[in-house]
Structure 1
């Protein structure tokens, strides 16, 4: 895993401005797969998993989802606690670089995989180009027996879909299914305005509001909060809750051990 790989994903995701750039997004997004790290003796006891993530919402596209295999001591996020830098940047800006840096720095993280494209509900115009579901190959070892999943809810200020520290299947051909909920990172005020959202929000909705949006955090909107279940779209800004709102769960994550 390298910072370059994660930065490339960020640039292509956040580089959208208008529907005309969607084709470029499809061609430019790259996947990131990090194989299981060697154990303390330099050996590997590799396990391979097929992880399928499906967007269950009708109006919220996801950034390319990231899945992490890790030991139980790793916690990407926790309800009631402040969001880490990795979750803050993902939830506000769709930025995967801090997540990559976290994975590199922790030997307890045993494998990471990131999808190639955003996941777009079939009800939205961009679904003609992007799928609502994707399948990833995740490599880990017997010590990395837990899975976490995160993906930004693109049409929000700091919302994300998440699954925290669930067991991976033990036996080959064993599979498990998990539902993921929506969370508010508690790091940015929920204005629900396109000018405060990442540019892909408008592009994936097929809308041109006349504002560019932003892929960086705005200090004026900073919120010193904690991770909480997301309250959804309430209609205070540019988004109609009837179109862009959702009910939990927002994602289905299916995991099968293949080897």
Structure 2
């Protein structure tokens, strides 16, 4: 696969923005597999490998944006607890915007492949679960040099919450599988108002709430007045300071299960 093809594919499929309507979340990202780049650093013996990656939303009150899984070398770090969030993670966590993450991935030869879900993942307890699943299975192609997996997805009903895995080992042997539990994180970039006015528009739609009843559509843009100069931390959850009832829209960690199997 040439660099040009890789770049074009990234820009096409990683265009989800938080400002989009519910239909944008459902249709903007097709189920896409991006094969390993041909110009990596892995050397000989780097035959293509295929993995089946299943992501399940374990929460009861938090829908996820379509999940992104990335195969990469050990030098890639998407996020780290205790460190400031990158611009790519900030845009994902605040606005559901995957474009900066795609641009980052396409600029790194150490990223060997990626796959993106088709739809939001919605807990069965929420009204939108009649339209959207709580789990999805993706096909991820990489090579021997891309031996690590990272995963990220926004917690849609939050100001800057996300879930993810950073640099966990992929299975080595054919038919070998591994399971990972993912916790919730606060990007530390925006104050947690818990107000619909400060959340992406799909939040209300996925909760079955009419924006006319709340008087706001929400926003897919960062608000400078809410900016925090913090670091990534474990998320404190919904505490009830704004529009969200913790008993309905709260959660307990872990919020996601990621199962990975190397295919023949």
TM category (shorter chain) comes to over 0.9
Query: Contact 1:6/1:32 (CA < 8 Å) preserved in 2?
Result: no
Contact 2:45–2:144 (CA under 8 A) maintained in structure 1: no
Aligned-partner Cα distance in 2 for 1:145–1:25: 29
Instruction: Give 1:110-259 correspondences, 5 Å limit.
Output: 110-208=112-210, 209-259=214-264
What's 1:31 paired with?
31
Q: Structure 2: how far apart are the matches of 1:29 and 1:4? A: 9
Among 94, 97, 100, the residue aligned to 1:92: 94
Distance in 1 between residues matched to 2:103 and 2:45, nearest whole Å: 23
Give the Cα–Cα distance (whole angstroms) in 2 for the partners of residues 114 and 27 of structure 1.
Answer: 12
| TM-score (normalizing by structure 2) | 0.91
Task: Give the drift of 1:6.
Answer: 1.3
Q: 2:11 aligns with which of 3, 9, 13?
A: 3
CA deviation after TM superposition for structure 1 residue 184, in Å? 0.2
Deviations 1:125-180 (A, max 9, x none): 00000000000000011011000110000000000011111100000100000000
Instruction: Say if 1:52 and 1:133, in contact at 8 Å, map to a contact too.
Output: yes
**SS of 1:101's equivalent?**
helix
The Cα offsets for residues 65-89 of structure 1, whole Å up to 9 and x where unpaired, read as 0001111111000000000111000
Alignment TM-score, normalising by the size of structure 1? 0.93
**Structure 1: segments with no counterpart, 5+ residues:** none
Cα distance in 1, alignment partners of residues 240 and 260 from structure 2: 35
Three-state SS of the structure 2 residue aligned to 1:102 is helix
8 Å CA contact 2:46, 2:145 repeated in 1: no
Match of 2:3 in 1: none
Stretch moving more, 37-46 or 81-90: 37-46
Aligned residues: 251
Asked whether the 8 Å contact 1:37–1:44 carries over to 2, the reply is no
Which shows bigger deviation, 54-63 or 26-35? 26-35
Contact 1:14 1:215 in 2 (8 A): yes
Gaps of 5+ in 2: 1-8
Structure 2 partner of 1:105: 107
Alpha-carbon distance in structure 2 between the residues aligned to 1:5 and 1:65: 12
Q: Is the 8 A contact 1:36 1:44 kept in 2?
A: no
User: Corresponding residue for 2:47?
Assistant: 45
